[in-house]
């Protein structure tokens, strides 16, 4: 009997564990990203951050079209075949996707490289972004191939290769970006004096910063190829033991791949094109209102280089859980077990909100101290942007995981339709805020809140229709918000006192952040937000549960 229980425990779906691995890696890469963006922001200045951020928006959209759907699509198709023990067909999906990624990655990379001048001048209203864009172009090919490798490992149920490759990629990126930006900024400054163009320094510096992106991606790809080589004997054994009679043709796999990719690309593209449209409209309208390129690129640099850098940190966690829930739900849906399906959906959203909600409150309370600590920027605009836009952390995290839940439920096109509706509303809101209200850079934040809220509402309704799932509110949203408000009040008071005792930018803010984590964790447990089963499902959950019981951190049971 004990042996049966042990086997069941071994066979237990570990999607939360895998999600935690990927989320932890994603959080680590974001922390590294924030760490290197701080000196990078100081090297480039606001104008250089503007060129850097705008080039990255174009690169991100091109990257999405060439490769970013590969991890999701390949993991979904591979996991579906592995669940049916069709190991040979799962490997054929991988080889077909790999060949396709090489072709599409090369085509898009060449298009962006040779079209960089036209894109930066006519589309972006920022001619000097051309240098950064041309440097980024080869990365489209590298990441395209890397996306298929990551998707294959995720489809096999392991997030470790993806997680390790992400960390390696970001470390290399950080080091080389800083060196490249510093060296090329000096070269650009010299060229600026000769050509009487003061923005050449920041433009060259932005291009230097993007060199790290290419080298980091190359390092990540090399690691994944090494992991595949190390895994080759396991793959061979799987293929030898496969007794599947029907072998899928590559033409059929390619057709399925394309049919699965298109809606995924479209739904995810809305998020990227959303930012690109925002920055393009912002630049054109600000220019029409009499602002110089230097002025609106500086504002854009604050938005992309400082505000977005911080907002994206907690969103990395949502991306990690989203990646893990797709293969898990894909395997669960054919069983028809609604309790299992609803449990996965509920846990994914609940664990996402447990991180997103306190981040939102923390950004509101510590907006100015964080900007001073990380960027040595005490101006009103960066802090106000962060405090006003902090709520987007909650809505973007929720919409990200709900997109993946719908894809796991085999409602591939639904997020695309919802994103299209949200985009139309978003653009209307942005034009209203920029042209009528003249909210300047704050219009970008306001319209993004509108977009994210629309996506959450539409996705939540679609999940209910697709699976019969009804969103539980108290433990998912209400209790975490109460705990976060308690945390926010304590954190504000702690920082207020410590700022007097320890003047400066580091000590008071760092201690306040640590106090916030401790207070929130204590409040969450005491409010009964997490059940004992929730704690057990976490990595090292049984140990965590014993610690919670030992220190009486859980609410007392009545009776």
One-character DSSP codes across 243-312: --SPPPPHHHHHHHHHHHHHHHHHHHHHHHHHHHHHHHHHHHHHHHTT--HHHHHHHHHHIIIIIHHHHH
CB 59 within 8 A of CB 255: no
pLDDT of residue 214: 94
Indicate the pLDDT class of residue 3, thresholds 50, 70 and 90: very low
Q: Could you report the per-residue pLDDT of 399-457, keeping only the tens digit for each?
A: 988 988 998 898 878 988 998 899 999 999 999 999 999 999 999 999 999 999 999 99
> Which distant-in-sequence residues (6+ apart) come within 8 Å of 159 by Cβ?
18, 19, 21, 22, 25, 153, 320, 323, 324
pLDDT tens digits for range 46-102? 889 888 988 888 888 787 766 667 888 898 899 888 888 888 899 999 999 999 999
d(CA 339, CA 412): 22
559 pLDDT band, cuts 50/70/90, is very low
313 has pLDDT over 70: yes
Q: What is the mean pLDDT of residues 203-223?
A: 94
User: Could you read off the pLDDT of 327-353 as tens digits, one per residue?
Assistant: 677 677 777 888 888 988 998 899 889
Per-residue pLDDT, 217: 94
pLDDT tens for each residue of 150-171: 999 988 888 888 889 999 999 9
What confidence score (pLDDT) does residue 127 get?
Answer: 83
pLDDT digits (tens, 9 = 90+) for 258-306: 888 877 777 667 767 888 889 889 988 998 998 987 888 889 889 988 8
Confidence at residue 539, expressed as pLDDT on a 0 to 100 scale = 67
Average of pLDDT values for 470-494?
A: 95
Q: What is the pLDDT of residue 534?
A: 81
The set of residues, in sequence order, having a beta carbon less than 8 Å from that of 50 and lying 6+ positions away, is: 126, 202, 296, 297, 298, 299, 300, 301, 304, 305
Cα separation of the two ends of the chain: 31
Spatial CA neighbour of 388 closest among 457, 311, 456, 281: 311
How many Å apart are CA 8 and CA 2, to the nearest integer? Answer: 10
pLDDT > 70 in the chain, percent: 91
Q: What angle do CA 131, 132, 133 make, to 5 degrees?
A: 90
Alpha helices in 119-231 (DSSP H): 130-155, 160-195, 200-230
What are the CA-CA distances from residue 507 to residues 106, 369, 499, 501, 514 (Å)?
Answer: 49, 11, 8, 10, 11
437, with CB counted inside 10 A (0-12, 13-18, 19+), is: exposed
Dist. CA 316–CA 163, nearest whole Å: 12
Domain boundaries, the chain: 46-159+233-472, 485-559
């Amino acid at each position: 009997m004990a042996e049966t229980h042990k086997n069941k425990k071994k066979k237990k779906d570990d999607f939360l564990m895998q999600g935690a691995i990927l989320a932890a890696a994603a959080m680590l890469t974001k922390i590294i990203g924030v760490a290197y963006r701080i000196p990078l922001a100081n090297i480039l200045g606001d104008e250089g951050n503007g060129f850097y951020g705008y080039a990255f928006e174009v690169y991100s959209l091109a990257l999405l079209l060439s490769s970013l759907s590969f991890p999701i699509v390949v993991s979904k198709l591979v996991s579906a075949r592995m669940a049916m023990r069709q190991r040979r067909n799962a490997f054929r999906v991988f080889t077909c996707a790999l060949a396709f990624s090489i072709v599409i990655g090369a085509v898009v990379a060449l298009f962006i490289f040779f079209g960089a001048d036209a894109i930066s001048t006519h589309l972006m209203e920022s001619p000097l972004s051309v240098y950064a864009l041309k440097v980024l172009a080869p990365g489209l090919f590298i990441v395209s191939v890397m996306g298929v490798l990551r998707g294959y490992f995720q489809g096999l149920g392991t997030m470790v290769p993806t997680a390790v490759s992400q960390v390696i990629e970001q470390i290399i990126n950080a080091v080389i970006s800083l060196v490249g930006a510093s060296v090329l900024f000096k070269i650009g400054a010299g060229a600026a004096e000769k050509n009487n163009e003061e923005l050449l320094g920041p433009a060259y510096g932005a291009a230097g910063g993007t060199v790290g992106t290419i080298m980091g991606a190359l390092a990540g790809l090399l690691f994944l190829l090494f992991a595949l080589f190390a895994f080759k004997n396991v793959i061979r054994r799987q293929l030898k033991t496969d007794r599947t009679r029907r072998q899928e043709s590559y033409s059929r796999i390619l057709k399925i791949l394309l049919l699965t990719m298109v809606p995924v690309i479209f739904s995810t593209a809305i998020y990227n094109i959303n930012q690109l449209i925002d920055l393009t409209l912002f630049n054109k309208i600000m220019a029409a209102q009499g602002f110089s390129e230097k002025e609106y690129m500086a504002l854009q640099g604050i938005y992309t280089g400082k505000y977005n850098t911080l907002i994206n940190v907690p969103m990395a966690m949502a991306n990690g859980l989203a990646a893990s829930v797709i293969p898990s739900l894909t395997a669960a849906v054919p069983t028809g077990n609604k309790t299992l399906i609803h449990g996965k959906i509920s846990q994914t959203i609940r664990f996402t909100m447990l991180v997103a909600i306190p981040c939102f409150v923390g950004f509101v309370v510590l907006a100015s101290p964080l900007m001073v600590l990380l960027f040595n920027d005490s101006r009103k605009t960066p802090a106000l942007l962060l405090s006003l836009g902090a709520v987007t952390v909650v809505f973007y995290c929720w919409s990200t995981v709900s997109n993946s839940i719908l894809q796991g439920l085999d409602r591939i096109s639904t997020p695309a339709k919802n994103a299209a509706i949200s985009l139309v509303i978003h653009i209307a809101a942005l034009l209203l805020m920029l042209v009528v209200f003249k909210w300047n850079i704050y219009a970008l934040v306001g319209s993004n809140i509108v977009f994210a809220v629309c996506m959450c509402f539409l996705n939540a309704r679609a999940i209910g229709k697709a699976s019969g799932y009804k969103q539980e509110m108290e433990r998912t949203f209400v209790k975490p918000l109460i705990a976060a408000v308690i945390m926010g009040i304590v954190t504000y008071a702690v920082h207020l006192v410590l700022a007097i005792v320890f003047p400066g930018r580091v000590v008071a803010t760092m201690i306040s952040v640590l106090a916030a984590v401790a207070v929130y964790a204590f409040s969450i447990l005491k409010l009964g937000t997490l059940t004992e089963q929730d704690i057990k499902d976490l990595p090292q959950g049984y140990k965590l549960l014993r610690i919670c019981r030992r220190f009486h951190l859980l609410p007392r049971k009545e009776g």
